[in-house]
Amino acid sequence: MDQQKEAINAFRELVAHRMRMDIKDVCQRDIIITPYEGAYGWAGVVITVNGSPPRGTVLVRKSGPMVFVGNTGTRTLTSDYADRHRPVTTVLSLLKTHGFPIEDMTHTTTPRPLVLRGEARR
């Protein structure tokens, strides 16, 4: 399995676990990665698992903690959390493998939004 597919699957598993959802449901939904700009250029990205309401949203900022928002509440994940737990590294892996160099946003232009399609419903 290639790195992009591994990163997508790990992110879907993370969302299913955090949102207490069936993994099959999460796998059928699109993942939408939308960069946003601040006063001095690219400031971060919002990652959403599509749904109404969204099934999970992660706010990844250039500086400061990562925020995971869902129907089970809001969780702030600081950088030291990444050293001990999987969620931060899972999200960063998804971004890196899809062309969002979150650690070095100062030297790149703002990427375009990206939709990672869910698996076809059967």
Query: Which residue range forms the structural domain that includes residue 40?
Result: 3-101
- Provide the domain count of the chain: 1
Does the residue 116 lie in any domain?
no
At residue 4, the 3 state secondary structure works out as helix
Q: What is the pLDDT of residues 8-64, one digit of tens each?
A: 888 888 888 877 788 898 889 999 999 888 887 778 889 998 888 887 888 888 777
Residue 122 falls inside a structural domain: no
CA distance 67 to 76: 5
- Quick check: is 96 in a domain? yes
Residues 76 and 22: their CA atoms lie apart, in Å, by 23
Tens digits of per-residue pLDDT, 67-87?
878 777 777 776 555 555 577
pTM of this structure: 0.79
Q: Do 56 and 15 meet the contact criterion of CB atoms below 8 Å apart?
A: yes
Asked if the structure places residue 119 within a domain, the reply is: no
